[in-house]
Amino acid sequence: MTFAVRSDEVPAELVALTRRIGDPAADLVVLAEGNTSTRLSDDRFVVKASGSRMDLAEAGDFVVGELPELVDVLERGGTDQETLSRLLSAGGGSKASIETLVHVVALAAGATWVAHTHPTAVVGLLAVREAEELWSAPLFPDEAVVLGEPVWVPYAAPGIALGTAVHAAVRDRLDRDGVAPRLVLLGNHGIVALGATATEVETITTMVVKAARVRSVALGAGTMSPLGIAHARELAGRPDEAARRTRLGA
């Protein structure tokens, strides 16, 4: 069995992060939406179980899985949704989130912590025809510094289709830059924050929400005026900004 319930191996920091970003007041998720994960010291990882609420999370609401086996599922292809559902079973009625493959992609790409959420302010701007264009360049300096260049993934059904699409998009970015993105934007769906610490993925999530709100205000006031990509890259790469990003959680 790929997954198992191992409450004693679930980091308290993961439970705390999950509760914070699951707080209804934050408007990042509702009901049983969203999921979090972290990599353990070996080739295993912990991910939220399917159907559990983030704001009420306890150690028993997570399962522990084997990362290499699921990476192989993505690499070899050909797995159908029914087979994936069996792989996600942890026994005793527990099951890893249907979006686990998204976490597998992020963790295999180098992230240690992952948070997947559906912020209302962001999903609204991922559910329009112009979504990819709206997010093609940052609008303000802190967006460029904290988020870097997000990866865009058009809508795909949760499960094997979404995992495969995210895998291809992140792999392309790794081939281009040699490092994983900090943010994946999922069309008509939500966001995935990738980081080295729990604080970093929370910081990224918070900044995406601000970036969405800024876009909404800008669109209501006139025509957006994004920063140039070259300038945004220069900002993000400056030593002082990199140091500030580290202080913010990286």
pLDDT tens sequence across 76-112? 887 888 888 888 888 878 899 999 999 999 999 999 9
Per the listing, tokens 């996600």 go with 88
Mean pLDDT of the chain: 93
User: Hey, what amino acid is at 36?
Assistant: T
CA angle, 65 then 42 then 205, to 5°? 65
Per the listing, tokens 């997570």 go with 62
- 3-class state of residue 190 by DSSP: strand
What distance in Å separates the CA atoms of residue 158 and residue 102, rounded to the nearest whole number? 9
Q: How far is the first Cα of the chain from the last one, in angstroms, to the nearest whole number?
A: 34
pLDDT in tens, 116-140: 999 999 999 999 999 999 999 999 9
- The model carries a pTM of 0.93
Does position 249 have pLDDT exceeding 70, yes or no? Answer: no
pLDDT in tens, 184-200: 999 999 999 999 999 99
Long-range contacts of 212-218 (CB under 8 A, 24+ apart): 212/119, 212/121, 212/122, 212/124, 212/125, 213/121, 214/139, 214/140, 214/143, 215/125, 215/134, 215/139, 216/121, 216/124, 216/125, 218/139
Helix orientation angle between 67-76 and 160-177, rounded to the nearest 10 degrees: 90
pLDDT at 77: 84
pLDDT in tens, 191-241: 999 999 999 999 999 999 999 999 999 999 999 999 988 887 887 788 876
Nearest Cα to Cα of residue 205 among 142, 127, 147? 147
Q: Is the dihedral of CA 154, 158, 160, 166 positive or negative?
A: positive
Per the listing, tokens 């729990």 go with 198
1 pLDDT band, cuts 50/70/90, is low
